[in-house]
Amino acid sequence: MGKSNKKSVQSKDTNNKKSLTNKILGIFVSDPQKEFNYRQVSALLSLKESNDRTLVSKILNELTSIGTLKEISKGKYKFCSRTGYVTGIIDMNKSGNAFLVSEDITEDIYISFGNLNTALNGDSVKVRLYAKRSGRKIEGEVVEIIKRATTIFVGVIEKSETYSFLVPDNTKMIYDIFIPNDQLNGAKNGEKAIVEITDWHKKGKNPSGKVIEILGAPGNNEVEMHAILTEFGLPAKFDPFIEKEANKISDKIFDYDYKTRLDCRNITTLTIDPADAKDFDDALSVEFLEDGNFRVGVHIADVTHYLQENSFLDKEAYSRATSVYLVDRVVPMLPERLSNYICSLRPNEEKLCFSVIFDMNDKAEILSYNIDKTIIKSDFRFTYEEAQQVIDTGQGKYSKEILTLNKLAKILRSKRFQNGAFNFEHFEVKFTLDEKAVPTGVYFKESKESNNLIEEFMLLANKQVAEHIGKKKNPKDFVYRIHAEPNLDKLESFSTFIGRFGYSIDMSDKISLSHSMNEIVKNVYGRPEQNIIENLAVRAMSKAIYSTKNIGHYGLAFNYYTHFTSPIRRYPDIMVHRLLYAYIKKQKEDTESLEAKCKHCSFMEQQATMAERSSIKYKQVEFLQDKVGEEFEGVISGVTEWGFFVELKENACEGLVHIRTLTDDFYYYDAENYSITGRISNKSYQLGAEVNVKIVNVNLTKKQIDFKLAEED
C-alpha cells in the first residue's frame, strides 16, 4: 500500500489547478466590484513560490478568456458579472438551507433559507451574489425561478374542518402544501396522496395545491412503492395505449434477416443472469479455433430493429430512459412484450442481435474484431449461481466454454487493474420477502467470478464500440459514458479519515492512487469499517454520466467507453446502437439534440438510483418495525450537528443516535474530526467507531430509525 506524504499532499493541494481556480473565483465573487492583479490574489492566498504565482497568472488569463473575469486594465481583473447574477440548480438540505450548483462558477453558492424566496430543491434559478462571505461560503439570494424541477409531490393528508395540508414524504421538500377542502378530490385524513402545486403567492408561507391521485393507506406496500416512484418523477406502469402498441410488434424473423445477418446459430452460445431475471439482453459465444485461439462473441439484443425511432414506444422509452429496480419489482423501460419476450435472448429461440466478435489468444489479447448484426440461438441459460458451480468444480454443462471464458475474463480484469482501474465493488443489501412483500430477512450479495466473467466481456464490448468510433481520424458524434478525475479536496478528506484506521493512499499519480485504493478495499474486507470506507471511497469519486464530449472513463482506466450492452434497460444503449449502425452503413444520423438527450438520460439514471435506495431504506425500516427495544452492534456511519448515524452490522440498516440522547456530557459536532465530542469529558463518538445501540423508535412513514446507545440505560 502506498504511503502518503503529508507535506507533499499539502503542496499538491496548493498547486492543484482546480482547487486554486475555485479559491481565486471566491476572491472575485466575494467582492465583485473590486479589481485585483495576480500579486494581490497571490498575497490573499498566501502564495509566495514563483511557480504558484505563475499558475495564478495563468488561471486569471484563462478565466478572462472564457468570460468569467474581465481585464479592466493591464494586469488588473474584475468579476465579469455586471449585475452580479448567476444561474444554476438549487441543492437543498433538510434544514432548509441550500447551495446553488452552477456551470457559470465552479464554487457552489450558499443560499440561506430566508433567501430562497420559494425556490425548491432541483429548481433552476437566477441568484444575485452578495459582496460578502460567511466563513468560506459565497452567498446569494434567489431573485427568479426559471423552471421548477417538479410541481408534483407525494405525502400524507392532514385534514381539518376548513382546510388540509399534504405533509410531503420528501425530506428536501420543507414546506407542507396547503389544500383547500374543495381540492381534496375525495382524499381522507391520513391517506397518502399525490398533490400538484397550483399556486404560490409571494407573501404566502406555503404553496397551494390540489390532489390529483389518492394512493391509499400508508404502510401498504403497493402504496409506498408507488409513492417512491412518484417522489422521483418515475412512472409506475405503462399507459394501456403503449402496451397496445407493443403488442402489435411481430416476433417473426423474415428471409431478409437471415440473408443479411451474420448467422451465429450453430455456435455455442450461453446466457448468464440473475436467477429472477427475465430480460436477457446479452449472451456470450465461444469457438475454439484451429490455431489455438478463441473467437468470443458478445451478442446484444437488437432492440432498435423493433423499436422504431420517434414511434410512440420510442418516445416512451426515451422519457423513462432506464429500467428502475426497486426491492420488490422492476419497472421496465420497455413493455414486457419487448423486454421479456421478443428481445430477451431466451434459450432455444432464434433471436436478432447486434454483436461484437473478438478473436483472442490465450493471453486475452485482441487479434481482430468484427461488429455486425447477427442472428443467434442460445443453447443454455445459466444463473450466476449455476455458472459459479461450474467454475468452482470444473464440471457441469458447457464446462469447457465457461472455464475458458472465465480464464480470459480474469486476465482482462487483471490488466484493467494494472492499468489503473478502481475496484469499488461492495455487497448489495437484499431482502427475503413474504407473499405480501414484507421483509422477513436481510442478506448481503457479493459478486463472484461468474459475475466478473460477464462484467469483463460487457466492459470489453463497450470499450471496443467506443474506440471503433472515437479513435477514427475524424470521429463522428457519439454517446460516451464518461467519468472525470476525482475531486482533490474529497480525496484529501478521505485520506485524512482512513489515516485514523492506519490506511493511506498514494496520490502521486493515477496508477499509484488506484493501486493504493484497491489495496485498501482488499484490506478492509470483513472489517467493521469496510462498508464506511468503501462508501466514502465511492463518494470521493466523480459521478459517471453520458456525454458527446469524450474525456474517457477515469474509474475504468479507459480512454474510450460507452454503453452498448443493455439496450433493453438503458436508452443510451439504444442511441449507441442507432448511431453505430448508421455509421457502419455510412448513413446520416441526426445528432443535433444528442447532448441534450445525454443529459436527460444521466438525470433519469440518478433519479432511478435514488428511488432504488429509497425502496431499500423503506424495507430496512419495515424490517425493524417489530424489533423496538432490541440491541444491536453497529458502526458509526455518519456524523452531523444533530447526532450520529449508526449502521447495524447484522443487516446494514441505518438509524440516528440524536445528540440530545447523550446525557452524560454537553456534546458538540466536531466536523474536522468527524465526531461528536463531549466538552467536559472529551469523550468522542467518531466516524467508523463501533457502538452498541438499542432501537427506540421506528417511523415507517418517514423511513426513519431512532437509536440510543445501549450503555446509556
User: Is the model more confident about 138 or about 118?
Assistant: 118
Distance CA(405)–CA(283), nearest Å, equals 12
Q: Among 10-14, 195-199, 406-410, where is mean pLDDT lowest?
A: 10-14
DSSP tag of 36? B
165 neighbors 179 (Cβ within 8 angstroms):
yes
Quickly count helices (H) and strands (E) in the chain: 18, 33
In sequence order, which residues have a C-beta less than 8 Å from that of residue 246 and are 6 or more positions away? 238, 313, 334, 335, 336, 337, 338
The string of DSSP letters for 608-671 reads HHHHHHHHHHHHHHHHTGGGTT-EEEEEEEEEETTEEEEEETTT--EEEEEGGG--SS-EEEEG
- Share of residues in the chain with pLDDT > 70 (%): 94
For the segment 43-67, what is each residue's pLDDT rounded down to a tens digit? 888 888 888 888 888 888 877 876 6
- The average pLDDT across 401-408 equals 98
CATH number of 624-712: 2.40.50.140
Tell me the pLDDT band of 4, cut-offs 50, 70 and 90: very low
Q: Are strands 324-326 and 366-377 parallel, antiparallel or unpaired?
A: unpaired
The string of DSSP letters for 589-600 reads ---TTHHHHHHH
Distance CA(486)–CA(483), nearest Å, equals 9
In sequence order, which residues have a C-beta less than 8 Å from that of residue 646 and are 6 or more positions away? 634, 635, 636, 637, 654, 655, 656, 657, 691, 693, 707
What cell does 463 get?
A: 470499450
pTM of the model: 0.84
> What b-and-e string marks burial along 553-563, b requiring 16 or more CB atoms within 10 Å of the CB?
bbbbbbebbbb
Tell me the pLDDT band of 5, cut-offs 50, 70 and 90: very low
Largest CA distance in the chain: 84
| DSSP E strands, 328-459 | 329-331, 350-360, 366-377, 380-383, 428-433, 439-445
Q: Do domains 6-79 and 624-712 have the same CATH topology?
A: no
CATH number of 152-218: 2.40.50.700
Domain range annotation of the chain:
6-79, 85-147, 152-218, 242-483+545-613, 488-540, 624-712
pLDDT value, residue 16: 64
In sequence order, which residues have a C-beta less than 8 Å from that of residue 422 and are 6 or more positions away? 514, 517, 518, 541, 555, 556
Distance CA(600)–CA(233), nearest Å, equals 13
pLDDT value, residue 632: 95
357 neighbors 372 (Cβ within 8 angstroms):
yes
Q: Which helix (H) or strand (E) holds 72?
A: strand 69-73
Tell me the pLDDT band of 106, cut-offs 50, 70 and 90: low
Phi, psi of 627 (to 5 degrees): -115, 20
Phi, psi of 635 (to 5 degrees): -130, 135
**How far, in Å, are 50, 306, 440 from residue 251 at the CA level?**
70, 9, 40
**How far, in Å, are 135, 350, 417, 643 from residue 269 at the CA level?**
62, 11, 28, 54
For the segment 631-652, what is each residue's pLDDT rounded down to a tens digit? 999 999 889 888 999 999 888 8
Q: Among 228-242, 471-485, 547-561, 698-712, where is mean pLDDT lowest?
A: 698-712
Q: Which helix (H) or strand (E) holds 296?
A: strand 294-301
232 neighbors 611 (Cβ within 8 angstroms):
yes
Which of 523, 260, 457, 475 is closest to 373 using CA atoms?
260
Q: Tell the residue number behind the cell numbers 417511523, with chain if given.
A: 699
pLDDT value, residue 7: 34
Q: Are strands 329-331 and 324-326 parallel, antiparallel or unpaired?
A: antiparallel
Q: Coil, strand or helix: which one is 145?
A: strand
550-481-1 Cα angle (round to 5): 95
* Amino acid at the residue 508: S
Q: How many CB atoms lie within 10 A of CB 136?
A: 10
For the segment 147-171, what is each residue's pLDDT rounded down to a tens digit? 999 999 999 999 988 889 999 988 8
CATH number of 6-79: 1.10.10.10
Average pLDDT for the chain: 89
| DSSP E strands, 302-396 | 324-326, 329-331, 350-360, 366-377, 380-383
Question: Is domain 85-147 given the CATH code 2.40.50.140 in the classification?
Answer: yes
DSSP tag of 66? T
Q: Coil, strand or helix: which one is 2?
A: coil
pLDDT value, residue 196: 95
Phi, psi of 300 (to 5 degrees): -120, 135
Q: Coil, strand or helix: which one is 398?
A: coil
For the segment 242-274, what is each residue's pLDDT rounded down to a tens digit? 999 999 999 999 999 999 999 999 999 999 999
What cell does 136 get?
A: 468560506
Instruction: Please check the confidence at residue 14 and state whether its pLDDT lies above 60.
Output: no
Instruction: Please check the confidence at residue 137 and state whether its pLDDT lies above 90.
Output: no
In sequence order, which residues have a C-beta less than 8 Å from that of residue 426 and are 6 or more positions away? 521, 530, 531, 534, 535
Q: Tell the residue number behind the cell numbers 452524560, with chain if given.
A: 664
For the segment 307-342, what is each residue's pLDDT rounded down to a tens digit? 999 999 999 999 999 999 999 999 999 999 999 999
pLDDT value, residue 6: 36
* Cα–chain center distance at 456: 20
pLDDT value, residue 249: 96
In sequence order, which residues have a C-beta less than 8 Å from that of residue 119 and are 6 or more positions away? 90, 98, 111, 125, 142, 145
DSSP tag of 711? G
